[in-house]
Each structure stands twice: as C-alpha cells, then as structure tokens.
Chains A and B, each alone.
Chain A
Amino acid sequence: MAAKPRRLNLTQKYQLMTRGLDWETTYQSMDDVFPYDKYEGIKIKDWDKWQDPFRLTMDAYWKYQAEKERKLYAILDGFAQNNSQLNISDARYMNAVKIWMQGVTPLEYAAFRGFAMLGRGFRGAGARVACQFQSIDEMRHYQTQMHAFSHYNKYFNGFRQFARIRDRAWYLSIPKSYFEDAVTAGPFELITAISFSFEYVLTNLLFMPFVSGAAYNGDMATTTFGFSAQSDESRHMTLGLEVIKFMLEQDEGNLPIVQQWLDKWFWRGYRLLGLVGTMMDYMLPKKVMSWRQAWEIYWEESGMALFNDLARYGLRPPKYHEVATKEKYRITHEFWCTIYQFSHATALYTWIPTEEELDWFSAEYGELFDTVYRPRYEYWAELDRKGERFFQKRLPVVCNVCQIPIFHTMPDDPLMNCCLVSEYKGTKHQMCSQGCKDIFDHEPEKYCQAYIPPQQIYQGNCGGATLEAYKEWLHIKDEETGEYYGSEDHIMWEGWKAQSGKPADAPA
C-alpha cells in the first residue's frame, strides 16, 4: 500500500503556493518585465534572501477574511437596528469620525492602489505576494469603513458626498498629498513610506488613540471596524520591518538612500499625525490620552527603542525628531486654533473647549497652554458671546510639502511663526518647517508641481476666485460648516437627549 502522503507544514505549503509558482522570464528580459525596481538606486543582489514576513496562502486568506467580514457586518447591522448612534458621548464626537472618513478612509483606498502597484512591481515573488494580500486588505478597510459611516450619514452632517469632498476640499490635500507623494515615488520608497514609516513606526499613534477613543466615546461601529482592520495590521507591520532589513542587508550602498527616506517619511508622517493628535485632544469629549502623553509612550519610548535597534545597521534616528518632541506641547493647540478659524470652509464643526476641558489641557500641557492658548480661547469665547464668532476671511497659505496651513512656530519659540522659503525656477515656495523644506530642496522638481488648493482656488480654477464660489463648487452648505454650538448636529442631539430624558452633556 502506498504511504499516506504527509501533511505539508506551513512553510512547505507556503513555499509551493507562492514562490513555487514564480519563474524567470525568458521571452522578455526580467528588467523589461519589472521595469521599476532598480531606478531608485536600491541594489538587490539576491531576491531569494527575502524572508517572508508571514506565511499566508490564498486559500487561508479568503477563509479568514470572509469570516472577519461576516462578523463585522453582523455587528454593524446590530448597531444600526438599535439606533446605537444615540450611545455616543456627545455629538461633537462625530467630528472626529468625519475627519476620519474625509481624510483617512481615502488613504485606505490609496493604499489599495499603491499595494496593487507593488504587487506587480517587485521582481521577488515573496514581496509581490505580501503586497497583493495587503492590497486586498486595504480595499477591505476602505469598504468596511464606508459602510460603518453610512449609518451616521443618515443623521449627521459632513458625511455625504464623500468622493467629491475627497477630490475638492482644500484641507484634505493634507492626507491626500501624503499618499500621492508616496505613490509617485519608486516602489521601494513607496513601501518604506507606507509599510515602515507609517504602519510600523507611527501606526500606534494613529490607530490606538482613535480606536480606543471611539470605544471610550461609545462608538461601537468605529471600534469594530478598527479592531477588524487592526487584525490585518500585523502582516502590514512585519512587511514594513522586513523591507527595511532586506534593503539594508542586501547592499551597503542602500543605507544612505534608506536613511533619506526615513528622514523624509518620519517628518511627513509626523506632520500628518498632528491632525490625528488634534482630533484626539479636541474632538473626543471623553479623553483617552493626550497627544503629549501618546507621543512620549509611542515615539519617545517605542520609536526610540526601534531606532536604537536600527542603529546596528548604521541608521540614525530621523532628522528633526527632536523638533517633533519639542512641539509635543503645542502642535495640537496650534492645529485646533487654526481649524477653529477656518471651519466655515470645511465639512466639520469646531468649538471652544468647555471649561472642564480647558482645565484638562492645563493639567496635561502645563504652563505653555495657560499662557499662550487658553487666553486665545477666552478671547474667542468673548467674541462669540458678543455674536462675533471669529472666522478667517481668506483661506490660509499652506506648506508646499505637507500642505498644512503655515501655522507652526519656531522650534524654540512657540510665539514666532515659522515660514521658510525656497526659490526654484524663479518661483517662491513656502514651507512650514525645516523638515518640510529639506524635503522640498531634495526634490524641487517634484514638489514645484504640487497641486496646492488655496492657490488654485484664488487663481479661479475651482469654481471662481472667491470663497463663496469655491464653496458652491464644493457643494458644501453653510449648515454643515462652522460653529458647532447652534449647528444642525447640535440641535438634533439636544432634541434626542431631551426625548430620552438625559441632559445633553451627560456622558452616555
């Protein structure tokens, strides 16, 4: 009798179903089949040395992902049927979700496209397979988030016409430009930017506060898709680590290139996260953790531990990380002060924090908050009481690299605005920081082509050269913008709470 065939173990099965299906091309040269994986200067001597960061085969992948979907949609259905939007802490919280839907969810879609490119672009089969899985994951993240938010769209402003907002809203060029910068680089830079810098180094600062913030504020829909996405994250993070190690181990000439990318994408990622930090500090009525504290735990401790380990390869911590650390006391306040003044031109509401919240900021941020930001809020609150809620009349100047309004201050002087200028081909380009300026100066030909919404708007390319004309082109209605107190969201929330007999501001 024939011997019973031995069951394949994980490694063998993976080997057969991935690399085992790959071949060296003969009708066409490998360089013609994979035309993009060399021009960035990254040298790979032996793709076979790529260590597969996880051994997942397609059959197992579909099975597990399908199960995750079933589970997630069962929870989302229950959420909708039980009117669970009533359980959130306060309607102000919804603005955090709006920011996520407007700014972050499109990044999931962008990531899907980026990884699809990578899944075709690398000549190593192991790397291609990992990227293909991730590409499908990202599409799933995008879809499940949209579905989760669609329930909120029935009740709250700011969720409708997501696609148009994504394309046209001036402030969303902040997250959008981050990904567009990455996908228009080469494949190795793209994967370094997304898998390593963003998903590995900074993801804890993004997902952790957002998901636990959502849970804490009673938003089970967001919490659930958050956990569902997090369960894919291990693969994404290990891919990020593997890619860095692979590049560094393959050829020593790769070190300076990788270092430059880490410098660049740390800074770009940090700037982008300023928005998340602001959401965390200001838009969560029930606070989880301040940005300052999150920065200390996830960057100063975990991030630096990672860079201590990376030092063994000869890498140093990213440039200007110490500037980011100095800014931890102010970045979210500077950001909120800015959004506060411009929310009439966004699909978001803003407000002055409550007395209790101001005290929490004082405790978390100390003297700087009390001397610099609290007086601003008191001044604006006073104007508001007089019926003169303050809004800027014009859109701001934004940084040519991170596309954030130029509101940041000098590293050692929180009262001095920082605006740096580079001249390229006879045009002046403004940047928010030395970090962004270095990025511009390294590739001026790329960034001089950046699409900068406020400039386009005032050139009349977005429906007309006035804010009013632009808002019409954006299809954004006054009711969904501006001040929270007295807004449609606020009035509806008060009404619900009155019906349920609970006072509006009481925690759920």
Chain B
Amino acid sequence: MSYQATIEPLGETIEVEDDQKLLDAALRAGVWLPYACNHGVCGTCKVDVLEGEVEHNEASSFALMDIERDEGKTLACCATLVSDIVIEADIEEEEDAQHLPVGDYTGKVVRIEDLTPTVKGIWLEVPGDGIEFQAGQYLNLNVPGVEIPRAFSLANPPSEKNVIELNVRHVPDGQATTYLHEQLKMGDELGFTAPLGRFFVRKSAPEPMIFLAGGSGLSSPKSMILDLLENGEERAITLVYGARNQAELYYFDLFSKLARQHANFHYLTALSEPADTDDWDGPRCFVHELAEEHFGKRFEGHKAYLCGPPPMIDSSITSLMRGRLFEEHIFMENFFTAADSAKPARRSALFKKF
C-alpha cells in the first residue's frame, strides 16, 4: 500500500510507502528537502501539510510543538502518510522547469541498433499526440517479466514527439537490460511512464554550458544538445564524452558533424582504456581529466550538466568544484542501478544535490 505526496512549490508528486518516512521517499525520488538529524529532534525538515493527513510518529515535542502540529506542520523525517497529501517545503522554485504532466504510454519497437557492443539503441513509436518532455528527462520502462520499472533517459530531442530513442547499456546480470538486449524484437510493445526527472537545461541562465557524459550517459546530453542547437542556441556548448575504447564510442560522427556545423559547439572525447587494435591518437584519460585539461582546471562562469554512472559523476563533481564551479551551477543525472542503491550511502548534509 502506498500514498502520494505532492511537494510544493515544485509541484512534484512522489510515491510514499505505508511505513516509509516522507523525507526518505522524497530523497529517494530525487526531491531534496532540507534535513539534518533525520530523527525528529532538530526541526530542519519541517514542512507545511496543506492537504491530507500525516502521522508525526517520534517527532520531538520541541522540534515540533503542539501549536505547530495544530498549524499543520510536520517533520518530514518522521512523518508517515495516512492519506494522499500536499505539502509545502522551504525550497526554491525552478524557473526553467516546465512541469509537464506525467502519463502512462505504450510504445512499439520500430528500430533496434547496436550502438556499441554493450549499448543498444531502441526506438519506440508513440502514436497520436506522442509525448511531451523536456530534453534531459527520463522514462520508467516496464520490461516484460521484470517487476519494478527501470529508468532510461530519452535520447531524442523533444521536437520528435512520436518516435523516442533510448540508449540502453547492458548491465551484466541485469534483469531488464538483459531482456532488452537479448529478447526484445521489432514490433514488440513496451509500456512506460514519462516524463520524469529534474534534469534539464537552465535556459534562462546566461552562462555557457559544459556537458560531461560517460558510457550510456550520452542519452540525455544528446537530447539536450540537439534541442539547443535546433532552437538556435548561441552560447558556447562543450560536450566532453568518455568511453572505454573505440568500439564503445558512439555517435562520434553525429557530434563531429555538429561541431563542424556550429561554431559554438565543441566536441571532445577521450578513451580510458583503448584496445590494442584501436586506431586512436586522441586523449587517453577519464572524462573529468579531459575536461580539466581543456578548461585549464577553471570552470568558473559555466553551467555544467553531468550524466552517466555514479563514479564518473562523482569524479566530475570534484573536478568542477576544485575548478571553482559550485553546487548551484552543477546539474546531473546519476545512472543508478540496484547495485548502487544497495551500497550504504556515506554522505553528509553538506550538499543538497550530491
């Protein structure tokens, strides 16, 4: 059994399990709420309940006083839901978020292509009005025989509403990705929920943009960059992409061509472990190292968008921050798998987003 919580002023709706704490559900759904102690004594996570009812559980009577309870406040770290709710939290509204409605769709497989030995391109046709999304967002895909839907970012630009593209990396032993790589065939139908996530270009911000992507993390940046260029973007855009070896480097021709056509678009690639047979005289390093070299370890004055597996995101954040680009200018989509979320999180409350 679960309830829904809508979080204002974001307008984001999340699922909260019966015995799950509101804060826990929000953080897991990628919605950051302020918190510190996480056990009901400090009051940092106080929110206003605008609609619906919650149970305050072990909230301290000083951190959440009776008058506050009467005023409809609760501590997100302790609260469980007894109905669907709407809350207001002390968080910033995002100017560039479009708040597109989330819907359930069915798509027919119209094209499957091996982009690399481990990444398949999968194109799904969505008839009728198609689907509206913001470049960078993802969908939750229902894969036959797999209980929980899996997240994949949309790789096509939002202008292509009727055929969407996914870039799916095969995760060894992964239930869903193994199915998609080994059993999926043309004409199959797949259900999905979209659009999801808060990874999108802050178009109203004046700064030039850096995209850092690794592995199948090219999907979102591809959509975002195509969208920007289609709409006549004039600010400098730099895509730094890293793959293991040449066979894993995909869409090289597409981005090389775009770089030739658009003076403001720069495309950099590096291989971390080129194969002996690779014909490669480009940089041999990780994405973040290539970015450091290109920007001379100074990232101040940019907006950065990061996309890919957790270790790549992690090193990239450190490079950016050492190069004096801080949290408010960094946006990311972490391609978590079940293996990552099973690892104990050893983080502090220092940063809101990472």
> Interface residues, chain A, CB within 8 Å of chain B?
9-11, 54-55, 63-64, 67-68, 71-72, 227-228, 230-231, 233-234, 237-238, 241, 245, 249, 252, 301-302, 304-306, 308-314
Contact = CB atoms under 8 A, between A and B. Distances in A.
A305 B348 contact: yes
Interface residues of B, number: 30
B289 to A, nearest CB: 16
Contacts of A249: 324, 326
A67 B65 contact: yes
Interface stretch (B18-26, B56-64, B210-218, B261-269): B56-64
B43 interface: yes
Nearest 5 pairs between A and B by C-beta?
Answer: A234-B42, A234-B44, A306-B348, A231-B62, A312-B321
Interface of B: 9, 34, 36-37, 41-44, 60-63, 65-68, 90, 92, 317-318, 321-322, 324, 326, 346-351
Contacts of A54: 44, 90
Contacts of B60: 227, 230-231
B79 to A, nearest CB: 16
A68 B350 contact: no
A54 B89 CA distance: 12
A19 to B, nearest CB: 16
Contact of A68 (B9, B62, B348): B62
Contact of A252 (B62, B67, B324, B351): B324
Given A68-B62, A71-B65, A237-B36, A231 B43 contact: yes
A30 to B, nearest CB: 26
B184 to A, nearest CB: 40
B67 A310 contact: no
B348 A309 contact: yes
A228 B65 CA distance: 10
A9 B48 CA distance: 12
Contact of A231 (B41, B66, B317, B346): B41
Given A55-B90, A312-B322, A227 B62 contact: yes
B63 A306 contact: no
Contacts of B322: 312-314
A238 B44 contact: yes
A67 B350 contact: no
A9 B34 CA distance: 17
A28 B351 CA distance: 38
B43 A234 contact: yes
Given A245-B326, A305-B346, 18 more contacts: A63-B67, A227-B62, A230-B41, A234-B37, A234-B42, A234-B43, A234-B44, A238-B34, A238-B44, A241-B349, A249-B326, A306-B350, A309-B347, A309-B348, A309-B350, A309-B351, A312-B318, A314-B322
A317 to B, nearest CB: 13
A230 B64 CA distance: 12
A233 B63 CA distance: 10
Nearest to B320: A312
B62 A310 contact: no
B65 A64 contact: yes
Nearest to A63: B67
Contacts of B90: 10-11, 54-55
A67 B68 CA distance: 10
B346 A233 contact: no
A306 B347 CA distance: 6
B65 A310 contact: no
B43 A310 contact: no
Contacts of A234: 36-37, 42-44, 63
